[in-house]
């Protein structure tokens, strides 16, 4: 299930440079606005070499809202919604994963504009019938748009296949170490914002299924960032995707 854990206004931060942020840490998925600062960054970006600009927009680099800092190192830094990965690319990557899962039977049907009744829920995967529901008519942030939400729900379909009773494997523990789980939590916060509560220091109540889906989502739509921000957790999920029973085409998605 893809949702924000709390109502938007409970975690919305008004920043002094015109950006709004969901949660307490900058992320391309959780920032919006930017006003004149973003317009100036867009003008600068459009003046860059076309090939350099297009290459830059295919990956997520560490993000900064400091315009001067970004201008001096635009190849190694990203300015929010200027040289970050555009949604059309995120959407294409998610759709490629969904199409391969449909071809292998992991996903039977995808329904858009499903009017999910639960507040702040933008996507759901229904186990057993292998159906994905998307309700993204009015997404408040990039995190809630079609591409990221679809990639997340595809991650649930793959996780479901790893579990007994519905899939081809005996149950496996996705994250072998606390370090892997903590890194998965880090990706969750990057993609979805803060968790509601924690049961031990540094670890939230987020289920293993949800954490797997967030790590898969990141690998699917922003692979360089996934391995930069959460090397061990991403490697563990990547290892599980390498199981020989999975269609080899699914693996090729991440060899970008």
How much is the pLDDT for 2? Answer: 58
Contact 155, 1 (CB under 8 A): no
How much is the pLDDT for 193? Answer: 87
How much is the pLDDT for 60? Answer: 97
How much is the pLDDT for 113? Answer: 72
Domain ranges of the chain: 2-72, 87-252
Distance between CA atoms of residues 206 and 197, nearest Å: 9
How much is the pLDDT for 198? Answer: 42
Phi, psi of 202 (to 5 degrees): 85, -10
Distance between CA atoms of residues 152 and 166, nearest Å: 19
Per-residue pLDDT in tens (0 to 9) along the chain, 256 residues: 556 655 677 788 999 999 999 988 999 999 999 999 999 999 999 999 999 999 999 999 999 999 999 999 999 999 999 999 999 999 999 999 999 888 888 899 998 876 776 667 888 898 888 899 998 777 889 999 999 999 999 999 999 887 755 444 556 678 989 999 999 999 999 999 886 544 444 555 688 999 999 999 999 999 999 999 999 999 999 888 876 545 545 555 555 4
Strands 131-134 and 198-200: unpaired
- Partnered with residue 32 across adjacent β-strands are 20
- Across 98-140, the runs of DSSP E, i.e. the strands, are 109-111, 121-126, 131-134
How much is the pLDDT for 11? Answer: 80
């Amino acid at each position: 299930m893809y949702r924000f854990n709390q109502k938007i206004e409970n975690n919305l931060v008004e920043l002094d440079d015109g950006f709004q942020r969901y949660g307490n840490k900058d992320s391309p998925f959780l920032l919006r606005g930017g006003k004149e600062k973003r317009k100036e960054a867009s003008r600068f970006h459009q003046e860059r070499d076309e090939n350099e600009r297009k290459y830059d927009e295919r990956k997520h680099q560490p993000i900064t809202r400091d315009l001067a800092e970004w201008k001096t190192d635009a190849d190694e830094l990203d300015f929010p919604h200027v040289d970050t990965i555009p949604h059309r690319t995120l959407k294409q990557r998610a759709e490629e994963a969904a199409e391969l899962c449909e071809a292998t039977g992991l996903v039977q049907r995808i329904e858009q504009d499903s009017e999910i009744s639960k507040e702040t829920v933008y996507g759901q995967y229904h186990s057993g019938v292998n159906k994905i529901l998307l309700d993204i008519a009015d997404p408040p942030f990039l995190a809630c748009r079609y591409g990221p939400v679809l990639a997340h729900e595809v991650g649930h379909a793959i996780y479901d296949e790893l579990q007994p009773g519905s899939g081809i494997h005996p149950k496996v523990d996705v994250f072998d170490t606390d370090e892997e789980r903590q890194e998965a939590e880090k990706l969750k916060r990057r993609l979805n914002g803060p968790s509601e509560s924690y049961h031990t220091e540094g670890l939230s109540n987020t289920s293993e299924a949800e954490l797997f889906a967030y790590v898969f989502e990141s690998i699917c739509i922003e692979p360089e960032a996934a391995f930069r921000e959460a090397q061990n957790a991403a490697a563990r999920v990547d290892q599980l995707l390498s199981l020989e029973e999975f269609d080899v085409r699914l693996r090729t998605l991440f060899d970008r």
